[in-house]
Amino acid sequence: MGGADELEFAIERISRWYKAFPVATVIIGNHDRMVMRKAQTSAIPSKWIKSYKEVLEVPGWNFVERYVKDNVQYIHGEGGTARTKCRADMMNTVQGHLHTQAYCESYVGQNFRVFGMQVGCGINHESYAMAYAKYGRKPIIGVGVVANNGKLPINLLMEL
């Protein structure tokens, strides 16, 4: 598929999620920022670029780089792992980005306890969207759940 076909396919698929979740906070990932990066390297002002919610037809969604709830930061994660980010920020951290890693580690000190949870990804490696990585390692398909007001991180992996 070309870029226009992929976009239309994405809008159609996302519309299903939008019907189920008309109000949501969505973390922006590295592939989401690609259009803006290419525009900037071509000296195209960001005013010419539409917002995510406008392009994807999801007016009730809020797109952010980072979301914090119950002292847990949720990020896509680039340039590092959940374990390094939680220690650098001294804050509980949940992140994706690294498709082949899923773990939860805790770190303690005299006056703190933080966790870093890497959640793998939520997409089948045989799907069209993952074709760019078909010769890489198989991704871990799972989801992270944080319960008890940000105090109980749980990493759930799908069956192989």
What is the rounded distance in angstroms from the CA atom of residue 151 to the CA atom of residue 114? 9
Range of the domain at 5: 1-64
pLDDT tens across 29-43, in order?
Answer: 888 888 888 888 899
pLDDT for the residue 40: 85
Task: Quote the radius of gyration of the chain (alpha carbons, Å).
Answer: 17
pLDDT for the residue 15: 97
Task: Name the more confident of 129 and 70.
Answer: 70
Share of the chain above pLDDT 90, in %: 57
CA dihedral 18, 20, 22, 24 (to 10 degrees): -90
Structure tokens at 35: 């259009």
Taking the CB of residue 89, how many other CB atoms lie within 10 A of it? 13
Of 25, 43, 64, which residue constitutes the final position of a domain? 64
pLDDT, mean over the chain? 90
Share of the chain above pLDDT 70, in %: 94
Structure tokens at 131: 């074709």
- Whether the predicted pLDDT of 63 surpasses 80: yes
How does residue 70 score in pLDDT terms, banded at 50, 70 and 90? very high
Do 91 and 155 lie in one domain? The reply is yes
Do 60 and 78 lie in one domain? The reply is no
- Whether the predicted pLDDT of 136 surpasses 80: no
Q: Which of 37-48 are b and which e, b meaning 16 or more Cβ less than 10 Å from the residue's Cβ?
A: eeeeeeeeeeee
Do 86 and 155 lie in one domain? The reply is yes
How does residue 127 score in pLDDT terms, banded at 50, 70 and 90? confident
